[in-house]
Amino acid sequence: MKPPLLSQRNKRHISSYLITVSFILFVAFLYGEDLSCILRLPFRSDHLSSSVPSPHHHQQQQWVYDEAARPLYQEEECPYIQPQLTCQEHGRPERRYQHWRWQPHGCSLPSFNATFMLEKLHGKRMMFVGDSLNRGQFVSMVCLLHRIIPEDAKSIETNGSLTVFKAKEYNASIEFYWAPFLVESNSDDAVVHRISDRIVRAGSINKHARHWRGVDLLVFNTYLWWMTGSRMKILRGSFEGDMKNITEMETEDAYGLSLRRVVRWVDKNVDPQKTRVFFVTMSPTHTRSQEWGGDPDGNCYNETTPITDPTYWGAARTKSSESSPTLLGHGGKRLPPPPPPRPSPLPNPNPNTNPTLLPLHQAHNPSFLCFRKPRPTKSQQNLKTKKNRSPKPINLPFLSPFSRFLDRIKGDGIGLEILSIALPAVLALAADPIASLVDTAFVGHLGSVELAAVGVSVSVFNLVSKLFNVPLLNVTTSFVAEQQALDSNANSDADGGDKTVRLVDGERRKFLPAVSTSLALAAVLECLKQLHWPWAQMTPPLWSKQDSPMRTPAEQFLSLRAYGAPPIVIALAAQGTFRGFMDTKTPLYAVGVGNLLNAILDPILIFILGLGVSGAAIATVISEYLIAFILLWKLNRKVILISPNIINNGIIRYLKSGALLIGRTVAVLLTMTLATSMAAREGPVPMAGHQICLQVWLAVSLLNDALALAGQALLASEYTKKNYGQARLIVCRVLQIGAIAGVTLAVILFFGFGTLSFIFTSDPEVLAIARSGVWFVTISQPINAIAFVIDGLYYGVSDFAYAAYSMVWIFIPSLTLHALALFGLTSGITSLP
């Protein structure tokens, strides 16, 4: 038989939908700028250019053989060419390679004017930074300029990794700095650097970068030295230390990490009004003549003409080179994307084309220069095309936005960082809600009275427990991430290893005052919460009628569940610290083990031992203690937990920020608790239906908070380092991912909510009530995802005030709806913020 309440609710569905639509419009007005960022599809940045231009672009440019104007200088005229690069001296039989020049269509490039170049460099510094490719560019520039400078007005000097050529009359310098990886590595010696076991310190750049300050023209490159295989060794400590903390990473990931470090340095240290910064990507590689239609076992020897195929890149091209324009575009003062690659690199003297060279010369990388034999015949080209032909992909227009989004994530370091943090956090973040969900599922089989009683108790427990826990968790995350970023900058500037590491009982641990402060506050907050529990245990009668059958089981559950409050607050402080470290895997392991134990104990204590709702509470408490123990044990191995000077380490800032978030948490939890109270007063069946909707809504909604966590941690780090361009990109990317996640969850819930309801109960009346709320639970998911993400972003920049005030303003209309009690159970669900 259809419940009477359900027929009344059906008459008011239009009102509930109007309230939902009004809420959507209010959020769109409040967060208009952020929503415009989300809706900026396709997911691409206008300032980024493609790493491979279209063939049409290449067809408008060509190599031209110029017998009259080339070469601009002879090898024997320039004393600055390294001996291993003197082609003619080592017996190259012809000189035609020096006469090729690059000619754009419809544009006559003027010949190089050394005097004009020196005038432009008057009073300035030009520096090439990178590996042997940029060293060749430096040498070529010096060779072009030195001829018009008198001997007594020029000088060249090498000091370690830095070589400086000075034109004294112009007060100008052209410099080269050897840094093959740009970041610190064990190959930084400008003379002895051919090390087979290469190691980079991807986060450290200041050892090199202190030489780059004040330069007017900076030209970076790094590529050849990354061609060591699919894996690269990363040093997390200092080369001056014991070098024990070495991990391996995919070469492409390590390359991206290093380039992002360069971009951050440029953002922070380069004045765009004074300095121009360029990045030179790879040229096409030429190692085996088979690649351009030659002999299978051939090389560059005897090749005399350029490769004109616009699609040729060479077999040595990797994902690293393809991703460099995207990575370099993330900064606020973005490095200009490199110009379109030419079908063949600029001529650069390289003796590698002579087979009689010494082993030292033969070892030099052959990707500087190579020419080709006549192009393959048409039949050869057709045969090659047939071998490489692949099935044509299926084109589904309505999936194209999602396809572009996935392509952007695959090629976007930020997107991958967000997902790497968010995915493990999906379970770790929802420790308490998942435990409550498991309890609800088991208790639901005891009956609707017990299910409703647990719903009331969980609501009251959340009101008291989370009042302080949520602020502590979010404040700890932001402050630990900030301190990590500040310490990272300070350690890099000091150029002497990690100054925050202390030796405790023979073990190396970090000393971060933010960690000690958060744990101390957790202990204080737990003492405050214990003062509230006597009042809280008296509240179940206030949320239901005096003669309600829910009263006794609710009091039993809440009184036992209160013993789990201490481990929850300690675990949340520890989780906040791991979040600040951007480590979400450790909390995932702890929560996984704890919730597994809870799921095992629930049926044993509830059904086998016959403890009912008390058994559910005991199982949850035991799992919470286990989670707290694991987190503290792992945290104690990484950082110093106790500091003697906590008062001096920012506790006032903690209290101010925490007080704001306490007000926000009160608004959230009070709205939910009032909604539960209204449902409880309607009776056990409506309360049980409300409980199912609420638990599903909370469990699914908190999955979105994992994205907020990723955005908060990443944004706090970059914002603290003043990398505002990178911070802006993080904001847009996490909002885009949040929007997609919200829509996806809505679709899943719409089609799966009916099946999901059977997990909680088999009572047809309760199921009918629960299914009537499917529209709200579904429609609210995209809004919910964006709301969680925006909260995390405000936490990331420590703008806790706005996050608190905005939530309080949203709470006011919700409170009004409860007070008027216009829509029965519908208002209890609809007014959730």
User: Which tokens in the block code for residue 51?
Assistant: 């790493």
Q: What is the DSSP code string of 494-520?
A: HTSS-TTEEEETTEEEE--HHHHHHHH
Give the neighbor-by-neighbor strand order of the sheet with 184-185: 184-185, 199-201, 231-235, 246-250
Average of per-residue pLDDT across 715-727: 80
Domain check: are 355 and 424 in the same one? no
Q: Assess whether pLDDT exceeds 60 at residue 494.
A: no
Domain check: are 210 and 295 in the same one? yes
What H or E segment, with its residue span, contains residue 804?
A: helix 800-820
Answer with the residue of higher pLDDT: 22 or 95.
95
Cα torsion at 248, 250, 256, 258 (round to 10°)?
20
Q: Tens of pLDDT along 499-519?
A: 455 545 556 667 777 787 888
Q: Tens of pLDDT along 441-478?
A: 788 888 888 888 887 777 677 666 667 777 888 888 88
Answer with the residue of higher pLDDT: 43 or 85.
85
Average of per-residue pLDDT across 299-320: 67
Answer with the residue of higher pLDDT: 23 or 6.
23
DSSP state of 189: -
Domain check: are 327 and 248 in the same one? yes
Domain check: are 354 and 471 in the same one? no
In a domain, 448, yes or no: yes
Domain check: are 165 and 208 in the same one? yes
In a domain, 54, yes or no: no
Domain check: are 795 and 713 in the same one? yes
Domain check: are 372 and 413 in the same one? no
Answer with the residue of higher pLDDT: 693 or 833.
693
Domain check: are 815 and 670 in the same one? yes
Domain check: are 343 and 444 in the same one? no
Q: How confident is the model at residue 625 (pLDDT cuts 50, 70, 90)?
A: very high
In a domain, 44, yes or no: no
Domain check: are 357 and 413 in the same one? no
pLDDT of residue 622: 92
> How far is CA 719 from each of CA 205, 365, 729, rounded to the nearest angstrom?
19, 41, 11
DSSP state of 645: T
Q: Tens of pLDDT along 747-782?
A: 888 887 766 667 667 778 877 887 777 777 888 888
What is the 3-state composition of the chain as percent helix, strand, coil, each rounded to the nearest 5? Answer: 60, 10, 30
In a domain, 502, yes or no: yes
Q: How confident is the model at residue 630 (pLDDT cuts 50, 70, 90)?
A: very high
Q: Tens of pLDDT along 67-78?
A: 766 677 778 788
In terms of phi and psi (left: phi > 0; alpha: psi -120 to 50; beta: otherwise), the region of 243 is left
Answer with the residue of higher pLDDT: 313 or 833.
313
pLDDT of residue 413: 57
Task: Decide if 734 contacts 789 (C-beta within 8 A).
Answer: yes
pLDDT of residue 479: 86
CA atoms of 692 and 769, how far apart (whole Å) = 9
Answer with the residue of higher pLDDT: 248 or 297.
248
The mean predicted confidence, pLDDT, of the chain is 73
pLDDT of residue 126: 96
CA atoms of 300 and 814, how far apart (whole Å) = 76
What's the total number of domains in the chain? 2
In a domain, 452, yes or no: yes
Q: How confident is the model at residue 529 (pLDDT cuts 50, 70, 90)?
A: low
Q: Tens of pLDDT along 154-200?
A: 999 999 899 999 999 899 999 999 999 999 998 888 887 777 788 89
Helix axes 13-30, 774-796, angle to 10 degrees: 20
In a domain, 55, yes or no: no
Domain check: are 429 and 296 in the same one? no
In a domain, 19, yes or no: no
Domain check: are 468 and 367 in the same one? no
Q: Tens of pLDDT along 229-253?
A: 778 888 877 777 655 678 888 888 8
Q: Tens of pLDDT along 585-615?
A: 888 888 889 888 998 999 999 999 999 889 9
In a domain, 97, yes or no: no
Q: Assess whether pLDDT exceeds 70 at residue 386.
A: no
Q: How confident is the model at residue 330 (pLDDT cuts 50, 70, 90)?
A: very low
pTM of the model: 0.52
Q: Cβ contacts of residue 159 below 8 Å, gap of 6+?
A: none
End-to-end CA distance of the chain: 33
Range of the domain at 569: 407-830
